[in-house]
Amino acid sequence: MPKPAVSMEKRGTTIRFSRVKNYVRQPHIVISLILLVILLIIVILPFAKMIEDSFVWQFADTRLSRNAEPGGLTLFHWKRVFASALTQNILFRPLMNSVSTSLSVSLLAMFIGSFLALLVSRTDLPFKKIIATMAVLPYVIPSYIHALAWLNLFKNSRIGGAAGVFQYLTGITPPDWLSYGYFPIVVTLSIHYFPFTFLLVSAALTSIDSRLEESGEILGATRFHILRRITFPLVLPALLSSFILTFSRVLGTFGTPYFLGTPVRYYTLATQIYSNIINRIPSVGYILAFVLIIISSAVIYINQRMIGKSKSFVTIAGKGFRVTETPLGKLSYPLLCLIILLFIASVILPLVLLVWQTLTLYPNDYSIKHLTLLFWIGEANTVFAEGEAGILLNPAIIRAAWNSIKLALVASVIAGFLGIFVGYAVVKGRNTKLAYAVEQMSFLPYLVPGIAFGALYLALFSHRIGPLPALYGTFALVALVCIAKNLPFTGRAGITSMLQIGSELEEASETLGARWITRFRKIILPLSIQGAISGFILVFITVMRELSLIILLVTPETRTLTTMTFRYQEQGYTQFSSAISVLIIIIVVFGELISRRFGKKNGI
Amino acid sequence: MERSIIEVENLTKVFGAVVAVDNVTFSIDKKEFLILLGPSGCGKTTILRMIAGLEIPTEGEIRLNGRIIFSSKKGIFVPARERDVGLVFQSYALWPHMTVFQNIAFGLKVKREAAPEIEKKVMDIISYMQLEGLKDRYPQEMSGGQQQRVALARMLVSRPDILLMDEPLSNLDAKLRLDMRAEIKIIHAQTGATTVYVTHDQVEAQTMASNIAVINRGIIEQIAPPKTIYNRPANLFVADFIGSPSINLIEGKTESGEVDGRMSVRNEWFSLKTACREIPAGRSVVAAIRPENISIVPSEGLNTLPGEVLTILPSGPETVLRVRYETYVFSLLLMQQVTLSPGQKVHLYLPPENILVFDKETENLLPLD
Ligand SMILES: Nc1ncnc2c1ncn2[C@@H]1O[C@H](COP(=O)(O)OP(=O)(O)OP(=O)(O)O)[C@@H](O)[C@H]1O
Ligand SMILES: [Mg+2]
């Protein structure tokens, strides 16, 4: 009880203080606030730091300009990117290359994916079930591994290094356009991304009631007419969506254009960011990353707007649809052969090429009599591969494998838990500004392509910030970037599962006297874990095959399998890079199969 | 004098632009069974959740057993888990990953009671609620009625002083609802727990409550025992909301000049004598009479109106009649089967002592004497 003597003014402050205290006594508010701080550090701060660094002279800049005074403010880097003699090379050409490859890949992938989807969900094609399952595999294999396989096949000897299988078998030196640059980038990435369109369009097709199509048929329309006038408009949103999302993903892809483009100086924005940072002009790299983020955000924003508008359109019929199968007749077997060819080209052939490469004793000698298992199980020997042991015995690779697994485990568990907390904070605090802020901020990393996100982290964590030591070179930093980048997925999954659980189950335990920690352990966690597990596995696989996100951040200590592949490939040890690729494929396909067993998948 | 167990003062809850509960004040005595009754969206659940501590009120004060558990002025908020209030949700909110036994035992485990003690209490309540043989089932494997019992058992096992129930019977079929009503009444009698019960079923309210609070758009319109609510509704909303078929309303102006000091209500067709104290003539009022208070009489007399039968709806022992006189259609509820037919002319008798008069402007009941 306040004493009567207490002045009004003083009472006013106690009241306000207690209000704050009441507000803060709600656990979801506390969690929101903690999340907000975490998100500020792992999402907002790197971005701010990157912008700041782009305006500051760096030490390395003294090589580029006499006026450079490290630490001072300058517009030098912005001018260099946007208004200098180098603009053409630094910005325009890579930008054009990025846009042209992205457009071509999106179109090609959309065409292959939707054609396959139409065949599988609307015709009597044989082996449809198996085809539908297999069609996802090219997407499971990391895209840069397709690039490596391409090189194993079509590499020519002009650039230096060993030639590929094609030249070995035919004796013809493949022309540069076939070995490197635009053409192979588009082909390999299309092969990688068509499953994405396939999944989206299949989902749209199966959710459309084919009675809509039948009613057209009853009115006397031809099959083709129905396809064009009824089916096509209905799947259009899914088509556009897959086009736009593929576009934004290709735009941010690093590995493939690096392996296939850089040898002939064919740069994209992503590879340009990398080489600027590696060549110690980080500020220019940051500005390019900024450009990439802006474009990719704009593209995703357009997509969100479109989905928002057309959502009601796609889900008209919901359940209870029936599907009429168009008989393919004579076309049936030619089409099946075509699909098998596609499957061979996208899955079997790359695998065969990779495995074959790992067995060659000399890089350009693919003959049977010179095949060897040395690169898998060879002892370290100074006469061979500069004394490196086969990958299954090589301590460096075993350590990288262990790093990869550790990284994927740590990132998926922490990102998964953070996702549950995000879901809890957002759903409990519905309609409050705080919850909205948490939701939006946790989604931000989705807008940032992997290589740019890595650049952001490099900008922030290469020096110490306040009490935090410089994290560059530590496992923690690599883990942190993987956690942040995957938060949009686990956060979404968390929100969905919290919405399904509802708030009353927790409240019921609250009225029975349970503390928050008990409520979380006994009610919230057991109920949301089921939904979270498929999210865990998804993140695990994603991190297992992650290259562009971490390539700027790993050091010899923190190497993973993927970055080892990258280094070996750079140094020309294609047998090693291929062998590790095979290892990665085995792990991710295995992970994919496990996640299938857990049923529902949370997006891609 | 014994203190009220629950005291609510000037309680207000605002959600964005919606005032869900508007300056509500009431108190509940020990062992009382208060029913919150009102149309959908009027704020019943919100009041209950604020008492339970699941919603932070915007303004006001709540006391349980004299202890302040919420006060916006004093800056006090006691969280739900420290209030010792039992709550049954409309959805039951049973935990799908726990068996019946685990659901019921949860509250005791949280209070760290000894295992044998828990076992005994849970088994007692399981047999009391006739849930034997279901203790290892999961909620999804039971019928609605069984789930309802588990929800009740889960609340009762820790013997809270105060029970809050939010439409606990609304998901059950009619027959089961009747049985459970009786059961809840017995539980209330046996435990003597002060109970606040939410429903929008007025029959449920009439049969179970010791007091009813009629709520409309976040405001308590009247709080009184069921009989009073029915016979002396405080205002037109309560009069109209309670009773089925709904009460007959007749607009008119007051008339005076009679010797006995009782007012009459006149409109352009007829004049009705009432038992209300006289007030100045010419005030706009609404007279109201319950359908079962109107009777059919053989001949004209005081307060009788000639009418024509429109429809006859027999339902078991009762009959609902609709009778037209000029522009008025009266509902009658007769406790008998009748041999009338549509179009037939009848005389309606509206006894003065059963006529309620409301001020048209304030909508409040005018005093009877
Ligand atoms: N969390 C919330 N956010 C915003 N508005 C709310 C919230 N909870 C309730 N309301 C609003 O407050 C008002 C009262 O809701 P309440 O649930 O208390 O009604 P009710 O009387 O229990 O209705 P019913 O009989 O339908 O259960 C409604 O207009 C509702 O829309
Ligand atoms: Mg309600």
Q: Rounded to 5 degrees, what angle do the CA atoms A20, A22, A25 make?
A: 110
pLDDT band (50, 70, 90) for residue B249: very high
pLDDT given at position B220 = 95
Tokens of A355: 């495995």
Going by alpha carbons, the residue nearest to atom 14 of ligand 1 is: B43
A219-235 pLDDT, tens digit each: 666 767 777 777 777 78
pLDDT greater at residue B222 or residue A366: B222
Work out the end-to-end distance of chain B between its first and last CA atoms, rounded to an integer number of angstroms: 30
Distance of CA B72 from the midpoint of ligand 2 (Å): 24
B104-131 pLDDT, tens digit each: 999 999 999 999 999 999 999 999 888 8
pLDDT given at position A202 = 85
Task: Label the pairing between strands B76-77 and B67-71.
Answer: antiparallel
Query: Contact, A509 vs B106, CB < 8 A?
Result: yes
Distance of CA B364 from the midpoint of ligand 1 (Å): 27
Q: Residue B346: enclosing H or E segment and its boundaries? A: strand B345-349
pLDDT band (50, 70, 90) for residue A208: low
What is the atom index within ligand 1 of the atom nearest the CA of A431? 3
Mean pLDDT of chain B: 90
pLDDT band (50, 70, 90) for residue A152: confident
Evaluate: CB of B44 within 6 angstroms of ligand 1.
Answer: yes
Name residues with Cβ closer than 5 Å to ligand 2, which is an ion: B 45
A546-584 pLDDT, tens digit each: 899 999 898 888 899 999 889 888 888 888 888 888 888
ipTM of the prediction: 0.86
Q: Does the beta carbon of B188 lie under 8 angstroms from any beta carbon of chain A? A: no
Residue A430: what residue type?
Answer: R
Q: What is the DSSP letter of B278?
A: P
* A7–chain B nearest CA distance, Å: 15
| Yes or no, beta carbons of A514 and B74 under 8 Å apart | no
Instruction: Tell me which chain B residues have a C-beta less than 8 angstroms from the C-beta of A507.
Output: 52, 54, 80, 87, 89, 93
With 80 as the cut, is the pLDDT of residue A469 above it?
no
Query: Contact, B166 vs B90, CB < 8 A?
Result: yes
Distance (Å, rounded) from C-alpha A287 to C-alpha A277? Answer: 11
Q: Does the beta carbon of A21 lie under 8 angstroms from any beta carbon of chain B? A: yes
pLDDT band (50, 70, 90) for residue A270: very high
* Virtual torsion, Cα A15, A17, A23, A26, nearest 10 deg: -110
Block residue for tokens 């998804």: A538
B280-322 pLDDT, tens digit each: 888 899 999 999 999 999 888 888 999 999 999 988 888 999 9
What is the atom index within ligand 1 of the atom nearest the CA of B215? 21
How many residue pairs from chains A and B have C-beta atoms closer than 8 A? 79
Residue B60 has phi, psi (to 5 degrees) of 110, -170
Evaluate: CB of B13 within 6 angstroms of ligand 1.
Answer: no
Given ligand 1 and candidates B24, B46, B217, which is best to mutate, with the most ligand atoms within 8 Å of its CB? B46
Instruction: Among B74, B79, B89, select the one facing A508 at the smallest CB separation.
Output: B89
With 50 as the cut, is the pLDDT of residue A11 above it?
no
Q: How many CA atoms lie within 13 A of B94 on its CB side?
A: 30
Instruction: Tell me which chain A residues have a C-beta less than 8 angstroms from the C-beta of B105.
Output: none
Q: For residue B28, what are the β-bridge partners?
A: B6
Q: Rounded to 5 degrees, what angle do the CA atoms A26, B23, B208 make?
A: 90
Any idea which ligand is nearest the CA of B46? Answer: 1
Distance (Å, rounded) from C-alpha A171 to C-alpha A514? Answer: 76
With 70 as the cut, is the pLDDT of residue A279 above it?
yes
B9-62 pLDDT, tens digit each: 999 999 988 999 999 999 999 889 999 999 999 999 999 999 999 998 999 999
Distance (Å, rounded) from C-alpha A361 to C-alpha A365? Answer: 7
Distance (Å, rounded) from C-alpha A590 to C-alpha B227? Answer: 72
Tokens of A8: 């009004």
Instruction: Among A19, A25, A509, select the one facing B79 at the smallest CB separation.
Output: A25
pLDDT given at position A556 = 85
Tell me the average pLDDT across B197-206.
90
Q: Does the beta carbon of B52 lie under 8 angstroms from any beta carbon of chain A? A: yes
pLDDT band (50, 70, 90) for residue B103: very high
Tell me the average pLDDT across A42-70.
83
With 50 as the cut, is the pLDDT of residue B361 above it?
yes
pLDDT given at position A7 = 38
pTM > 0.95: yes or no: no
Closest CA to A296 of A189, A105, A449: A449
* A488–chain B nearest CA distance, Å: 28
pLDDT band (50, 70, 90) for residue A603: very low
pLDDT greater at residue B171 or residue A439: A439
pLDDT band (50, 70, 90) for residue B347: very high
Lowest mean pLDDT among A32-36, A533-537, B176-180: A533-537
> CB neighbours (10 Å) of residue B343?
8
Mean pLDDT of chain A: 82
pLDDT band (50, 70, 90) for residue A5: very low
Q: How many CA atoms lie within 13 A of A400 on its CB side?
A: 25
Q: Residue A16: closest CA among chain B residues belongs to which residue?
A: B75
pLDDT given at position B222 = 95
Q: Rounded to 5 degrees, what angle do the CA atoms B316, B320, B323 make?
A: 155
Q: List C-alpha distances in Å: A162 to A170, A354, A360, A570, A575.
A: 15, 15, 12, 13, 11
pLDDT band (50, 70, 90) for residue A16: low
Tell me the average pLDDT across B352-361.
92
Distance (Å, rounded) from C-alpha B91 to C-alpha B100? Answer: 16
What is the atom index within ligand 1 of the atom nearest the CA of B198? 22
